[in-house]
């Protein structure tokens, strides 16, 4: 499966007004891609397109709520109308409620499913016909490590991300069976420093916090752009995501114990916050930016540097092989 170079692509970035989506659209545009950005916030999209135009990039925007199928279809239609085709579809929008399950209202749980899961479903449904017409392309879905491991206070969000993992696995197999050269990627970030923590509806009495450490949104943007050129099944972003995934596979009860120890307390910040404002039904315009408020807790991710650099990968393999050889030699001499 061979994907086009970024500078030859038309890319639709859904959920681009802030956070990872905004960083991703900028990175694609700087790489020479023609970009269509969409979100609910018109002011956020206008400022993003202006920023892209200011450095010489090509971009247009569509205002859309992904819980509405026809609005998602309008994004794909506009992409093809303006640029003639679609090569990569990146789907990011997500909302959250921070509360125990018994304090989450039915309509709130449904809204999260409608945006986080059905929005992703609608995105794939409208993008696939265009990708098939081109004969190749990429579907990149932004899931979460919560698609592998649920967290307390986030039952609806975790449910939606588990659902995303389920439908794209089935869809990927169907495309492989039919021999379509369309890459389907699930990006699973760890905790990322975006305005998501400002925007979530909270019943914790304080602004919610991710369980530290945090990673830079641009790290996820790097992974997305990489997957748009290099077919990738799953991409876990952040060292902690890879460690948590491994621990969950080995012993879910161990992860239960760890989360009982730190998972409740560390999701509370020291900043009081009421339920409003939140972006469950309407965008919060002042948060149309890439970074959140936890810059002091952001750390680098070594594994992400290694994964995207073949030289580092071979270096790691060579080092492991050398250590294995030295260990075997030591045992041999001891024997």
98, β-bridge pairs: 202
Beta-carbon contacts of 61 under 8 Å, excluding residues fewer than 6 positions away, are 16, 36, 37, 38, 42, 45, 46, 48, 49
Q: What is the DSSP track for 109-139?
A: HHHHIIIIIIHHHHHHHHHHHHHHHHT-EEE
CA-closest candidate to residue 91, choices 187, 230, 204: 187
Exposure string for 284-323, b = 16+ CB within 10 A, e = fewer = beebbbbbbbbeeebeebebbeebeeeeeeeeeeeeeeee
Choosing from 83, 122, 153, 157, the catalytic residue is: 157
To 5 degrees, how large is the angle CA 28–CA 33–CA 34? 115
Active site residue 153: no
CB atoms within 10 A of CB 172: 17
CB of 238 closer than 8 Å to CB of 124: no
Fill in the DSSP letter of residue 296: G
CA-closest candidate to residue 115, choices 22, 17, 15: 15
**In which element (H, E) is residue 67 found?**
none
Give the length of the chain: 335
- What residues act catalytically? 157
């Amino acid at each position: 499966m061979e994907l086009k170079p970024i500078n030859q692509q038309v890319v639709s970035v859904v959920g681009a007004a802030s956070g990872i989506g905004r960083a991703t659209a900028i990175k694609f545009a700087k790489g020479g891609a023609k970009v269509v950005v969409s979100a609910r916030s018109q002011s956020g999209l206008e400022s993003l397109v202006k920023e892209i135009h200011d450095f010489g990039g090509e971009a247009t925007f569509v205002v859309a709520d992904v819980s509405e199928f026809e609005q998602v279809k309008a994004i794909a239609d506009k992409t093809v109308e303006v640029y003639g085709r679609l090569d990569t579809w990146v789907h990011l929008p997500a909302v959250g409620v921070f509360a125990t399950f018994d304090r989450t209202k039915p309509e709130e749980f449904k809204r999260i499913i409608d945006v986080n899961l059905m929005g992703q479903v609608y995105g794939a449904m409208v993008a696939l016909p265009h990708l098939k017409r081109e004969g190749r392309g990429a579907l990149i879905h932004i899931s979460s490590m919560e698609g592998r491991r649920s967290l307390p206070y986030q039952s609806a969000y975790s449910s939606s991300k588990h659902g995303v993992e389920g439908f794209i696995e089935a869809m990927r197999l169907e495309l492989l069976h039919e021999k379509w050269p369309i890459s389907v990627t699930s990006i699973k970030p760890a905790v990322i420093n975006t305005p998501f923590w400002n925007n979530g509806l909270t019943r914790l009495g304080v602004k919610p916090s991710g369980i530290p450490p945090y990673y830079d949104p641009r790290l996820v943007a790097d992974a997305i752009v990489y997957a748009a050129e290099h077919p990738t099944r799953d991409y876990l972003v952040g060292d902690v995501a890879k460690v948590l995934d491994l621990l969950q596979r080995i012993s879910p009860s161990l992860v239960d114990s760890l989360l009982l120890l730190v998972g409740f307390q560390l999701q509370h910040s020291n900043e009081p916050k009421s339920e409003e404002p939140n972006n469950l039904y309407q965008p919060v315009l002042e948060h149309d930016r890439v970074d959140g408020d936890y810059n002091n807790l952001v750390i680098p991710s070594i594994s992400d540097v290694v994964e995207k650099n073949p030289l580092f990968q071979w270096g790691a393999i060579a080092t492991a092989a050398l250590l294995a050889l030295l260990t075997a030699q030591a045992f041999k001499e001891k024997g």
